């Protein structure tokens, strides 16, 4: 019997990158995986910022597969900008409200909506795993990412609250905090930026999406049944500099 045999899993933001790799790894482990994304390539097109769409997707998944055992809240976006950018003593740029709201809506509200919709299904079954995507920047901060860092720190807060609330119901809730991961998007960055990422990582390589997927796999498995409310950094020991 494989590690996740018979477990029904929903992975959000799974059309590419870490989400797509997580879906592959979970399927290899025997899980039935349903992928959600706003982009083509997922099993179901779902906007995680839309409460009605999320509720409908949960209902459809339960109707088709009989329940949901594992939720991987992976969906996320970036809209980077400095809070304010000063040039020659004058404000030359700033993070716009639309940039802030968009990231909060997907990365934080989306986690809330999916968790809220799936939790009752898991409570009825008396078993569940909710796995939330945070980031090392949610622990240490990062230049030019007020919105993204706020969401990833907020996800850690949600994780700890839900671990307390849902633990007595047989549901564990944990977060994974990736460091520099070589997704397709990251690989398109300039070579000098990629070199800097490697130099700042003590193991002297970037992570692969499978490194993060394997962390999710462990936390979803029976081996992690006594881990609840934890934040697992998957970052090669990265130390964020100035």
Please compute the mean of the pLDDT values over residues 163-177 and round it to a whole number. 98
Q: Tell me: the pLDDT tens digits for 122-136?
A: 999 999 999 999 999
Ranking 56-70, 157-171, 194-208 by mean pLDDT, the lowest is 194-208
The range of the structural domain enclosing residue 226 comes to 8-232
Name the token pair of 101. Answer: 């709201």
pLDDT at 183: 86
Residue the block writes with tokens 């025997």: 30
pLDDT at 111: 98
Residue 144 lies in a domain: yes
Q: Does 117 score more than 50 pLDDT?
A: yes
Residue 2 lies in a domain: no
Residue 201 lies in a domain: yes
> What is the distance between the alpha carbons of residues 64 and 50, in angstroms, rounded to a whole number?
21
Residue 196 lies in a domain: yes
- Residue 181 · residue 140 · CB < 8 Å: no
pTM for this one? 0.94
Q: Tell me: the pLDDT tens digits for 218-227?
A: 999 999 999 9
Q: Does 196 score more than 90 pLDDT?
A: no
pLDDT at 242: 39
> What is the distance between the alpha carbons of residues 20 and 37, in angstroms, rounded to a whole number?
10
Ranking 1-5, 25-29, 60-64 by mean pLDDT, the lowest is 1-5
Q: What residues act catalytically?
A: 148
Please compute the mean of the pLDDT values over residues 91-107 and round it to a whole number. 97
Residue 241 lies in a domain: no
Please compute the mean of the pLDDT values over residues 100-109 and round it to a whole number. 98
Residue 182 lies in a domain: yes
Other Cβ atoms closer than 10 A to 83: 13
Q: Provide the domain count of the chain.
A: 1
- Residue 94 · residue 142 · CB < 8 Å: no
Residue 237 lies in a domain: no
Residue 25 lies in a domain: yes
- Band (pLDDT 50/70/90 cuts) for residue 2 is confident
Output the domain CATH number for residue 48. 3.40.50.720
Please compute the mean of the pLDDT values over residues 139-157 and round it to a whole number. 95
- Band (pLDDT 50/70/90 cuts) for residue 240 is low
Name the token pair of 48. Answer: 């995680």
Q: Does 202 score more than 80 pLDDT?
A: yes
Please compute the mean of the pLDDT values over residues 84-92 and round it to a whole number. 95
């Amino acid at each position: 019997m494989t590690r996740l045999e018979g477990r029904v899993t929903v992975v959000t933001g799974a059309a590419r990158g870490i989400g797509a790799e997580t879906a592959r790894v979970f399927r290899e482990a025997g899980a039935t995986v349903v992928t959600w994304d706003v982009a083509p390539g997922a099993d179901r097109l779902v906007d995680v910022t839309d409460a009605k769409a999320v509720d409908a997707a949960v209902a459809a998944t339960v109707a088709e597969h009989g329940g949901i055992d594992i939720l991987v809240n992976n969906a996320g976006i970036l809209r980077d900008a400095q809070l304010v950018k000063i040039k020659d003593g004058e404000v030359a740029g700033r993070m716009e409200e639309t940039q802030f709201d968009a990231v909060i809506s997907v990365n934080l509200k989306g986690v809330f909506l999916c968790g809220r919709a799936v939790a009752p299904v898991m409570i009825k079954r008396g078993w569940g795993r909710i796995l939330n995507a945070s980031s090392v920047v949610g622990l240490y901060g990062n230049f030019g990412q007020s919105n993204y860092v706020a969401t990833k720190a907020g996800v850690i807060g949600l994780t700890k609250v839900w671990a307390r609330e849902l633990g007595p119901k047989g549901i564990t809730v944990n977060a994974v905090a990736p460091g520099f991961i070589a997704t397709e998007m990251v690989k398109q960055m300039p070579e000098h930026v990629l070199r800097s990422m490697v130099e700042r990582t003590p193991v002297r390589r970037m992570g692969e999406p499978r490194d993060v997927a394997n962390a999710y796999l462990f936390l979803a498995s029976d081996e992690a049944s006594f881990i609840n409310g934890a934040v697992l950094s998957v970052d090669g020991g990265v130390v964020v500099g100035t």
